[in-house]
Amino acid sequence: MITKDYDIVIIGSGAGGGTAAKELAPLVKEGLKIVVLEWGPQFREEEFTGREIEMANRLYFEGGGFLTKDRSMTLAFAKAYGGTTVVYTGTSLVVPKKTVGRWSVPGISWEDLARRSEKYKQENNVHLLDEPLINENNRLFYKGCKELGYSVEQFPLNLRGCQGSGLCNLGCPNQAKQGTNRVQLPQAQKQGVEVVTRCEVKKIDPDKRTIQAVIHSGNGVGLSSAWQPGFYEIHSKVVVVAAGAVNSSALLLRSGLGSRLPALGRYFTVHPALILTAQHDQPVANYYGHPKSYFSSEWAESDRFLLETCAYFPFTTAKNLAGFGPEHGRFMARMDRLQMILVLALDEALGTNRVTIDRDGSPVVDYTITETVINSFIVAMRKSAEIFFAAGAGRVHAPACKKFTIESEEKNEIDRLIAREDFKLGKVSITGAHLMGGCRMGTNETDSVTNSWGQVHGIPWLYVADASLFPKCAEINPYLTIMALADRVAEGVKNRIGELVGQGAINR
């Protein structure tokens, strides 16, 4: 066992950990030692090949197909230098005011989060795509929504030099997305923060204030870790956990905090998602250009879902079509003619939806798809079908439908053809990529894990700084809100740094 000593250890390098690292980096100049521990490797630019299965296995836990306990849903979350910011699409929205109101966490105001979000919009070059760079899939969505009188908004994106590979979810092969791997981590390292990759954190010992971790050897892909492979015990005065909603909760549970924090792992939300497709009689070529230009929050309040544009790869598309055989094959044979819409259900935060651990300490996500979510899906499929047809689609596939496709001449029968009784768990592919909660903020230990500064109740040196802090779902793509919260957590640490590390440690 090799031992190491630090003043601040940050676990995870995604939107939360990367932001915390950059914000705390100036403390290095004052004499503090800071390290970021990241489970995944740092990939070389040429290793972003855009090949679906290869990149999914490199970048995601369980290849992006992490199954929930009852196997009704798969979850996608990444491990890499930059965490999940390497594989998202770069959508950068400020959390809605109503959402923060629903969170109802004393000390957290929308104004504060919006101000911090603006800072990261600047830092990450967030902007709207110019009209000529909007691809056909997005134009069709816009056209369909407008024709039906539905609201539609353009996504602000954090891009620099986007070439429109459409491969965002497999890691940008052009390094255009301004995730923490491109912006915050390099800035932090420039100021002296160490980043150690291939480091799996097993446990935090709350009594000794130590971390047990393993450095994994590589398989030739990605850069080597800064530390030699082996077992490590790391002493730290402050620990910031930012390993993502699943792994942060699991790590704290493995560390024995479940008994003193009954809410730990609970109130887990995911924005359960469906990928919907329609076939046009002419090419859409959705694989060219940035995949995500527009979204509609028309039904966010009434039916609790969002619609977004999206583009997926052959296996992911095939898996999300409910069916098989010749009709499935005919749909797949013309990938160039497919229009796609992503449905995100705005799920309730329930204490029963939770991250637990198995006997080995590995995370298990116990999540029930509720009747409310299914009802959101039914309305979303109907509305999407209307949008597809208004955009000119010849046939629409809905995963809960009496037929594999609804033809355009049947468009007046959408409500009959897409019905609740046709929504069968197990048949319909449901995915979740916005993983939130598990270490929710609040005022006390009975129903929350941290205070509004991300400090774990009862442990003054232990912080959480990622999406697991969300008390309820974000109701939009959560990346910028994670950064805003991590920024706030870092400020909280800085405000207490003398007390946390001892005045003697500063400028030693």
| Site residues for another protein per CB under 8 A | 50-53, 57, 62-63, 65, 71-72, 132-133, 135-136, 162-167, 173-174, 283, 285, 287-289, 313-315, 317-319, 322-326, 328-329, 332-337, 424-427, 429
Between the alpha carbon of residue 266 and those of residues 23, 333, 349, 360, 459, the distances in Å are 28, 42, 8, 20, 19
According to DSSP, the residues that pair with 127 across neighbouring strands are: 157
Of the pair 142, 453, the CB lying nearest another protein is at 142
Of the pair 166, 492, the CB lying nearest another protein is at 166
According to DSSP, the residues that pair with 230 across neighbouring strands are: 215
Q: How far is the CB of 323 from another protein (least distance, A)?
A: 8
Please state the separation of Cα 119 from the chain's center in Å.
20
Q: How far is the CB of 362 from another protein (least distance, A)?
A: 9
Of the pair 369, 462, the CB lying nearest another protein is at 369
Of the candidates 145, 33, 75, the one whose C-alpha atom is nearest the C-alpha of residue 388 is 145
For residues 328 and 315, is the Cβ–Cβ distance under 8 A? no
CB half-sphere exposure, 445, CA atoms < 13 A: 10
Q: Name the phi and psi angles at 202, rounded to 5.
A: -85, -40
What is the distance between the alpha carbons of residues 85 and 96, in angstroms, rounded to a whole number?
A: 21
Q: How far is the CB of 253 from another protein (least distance, A)?
A: 19
Of the pair 49, 191, the CB lying nearest another protein is at 49
Q: How far is the CB of 330 from another protein (least distance, A)?
A: 8
Q: How far is the CB of 231 from another protein (least distance, A)?
A: 23
What is the distance between the alpha carbons of residues 77 and 83, in angstroms, rounded to a whole number?
A: 8
Q: How far is the CB of 322 from another protein (least distance, A)?
A: 8
Between the alpha carbon of residue 71 and those of residues 66, 189, 396, the distances in Å are 9, 40, 26
HEC secondary structure over 239-266: EEECCCHHHHHHHHHHCCCCCCCCCCCC
How is residue 172 annotated by DSSP?
A: -
Q: How far is the CB of 58 from another protein (least distance, A)?
A: 12
Of the pair 129, 441, the CB lying nearest another protein is at 129
For residues 403 and 375, is the Cβ–Cβ distance under 8 A? no
Amino acid 229 reads P
Longest Cα pair distance anywhere in the chain, in angstroms?
77
Task: Kindly tell me the sign of the dihedral angle through the C-alpha atoms of 162, 56, 183, 96.
Answer: positive
Q: Name the phi and psi angles at 396, rounded to 5.
A: -125, 135
Q: How far is the CB of 17 from another protein (least distance, A)?
A: 25
- Provide the token pair at 449: 């894990």
What is the distance between the alpha carbons of residues 225 and 109, in angstroms, rounded to a whole number?
A: 39
Contacts of 294 (CB under 8 A, 6+ apart): 138, 141, 142, 145, 152, 153, 154, 155, 308, 309
Of the pair 207, 421, the CB lying nearest another protein is at 421
Of the pair 148, 332, the CB lying nearest another protein is at 332
What is the distance between the alpha carbons of residues 388 and 369, in angstroms, rounded to a whole number?
A: 26
Of the pair 48, 103, the CB lying nearest another protein is at 48
Q: How far is the CB of 429 from another protein (least distance, A)?
A: 7
Of the pair 109, 368, the CB lying nearest another protein is at 368
Q: How far is the CB of 174 from another protein (least distance, A)?
A: 6
Between the alpha carbon of residue 453 and those of residues 36, 193, 204, 302, the distances in Å are 20, 22, 20, 32
Of the pair 136, 410, the CB lying nearest another protein is at 136
- Provide the token pair at 165: 């590979």
Of the candidates 57, 16, 66, 20, the one whose C-alpha atom is nearest the C-alpha of residue 270 is 66
What is the distance between the alpha carbons of residues 150 and 348, in angstroms, rounded to a whole number?
A: 24
Of the pair 169, 448, the CB lying nearest another protein is at 169
Of the pair 23, 52, the CB lying nearest another protein is at 52
Q: How far is the CB of 53 from another protein (least distance, A)?
A: 4
Q: How far is the CB of 427 from another protein (least distance, A)?
A: 5
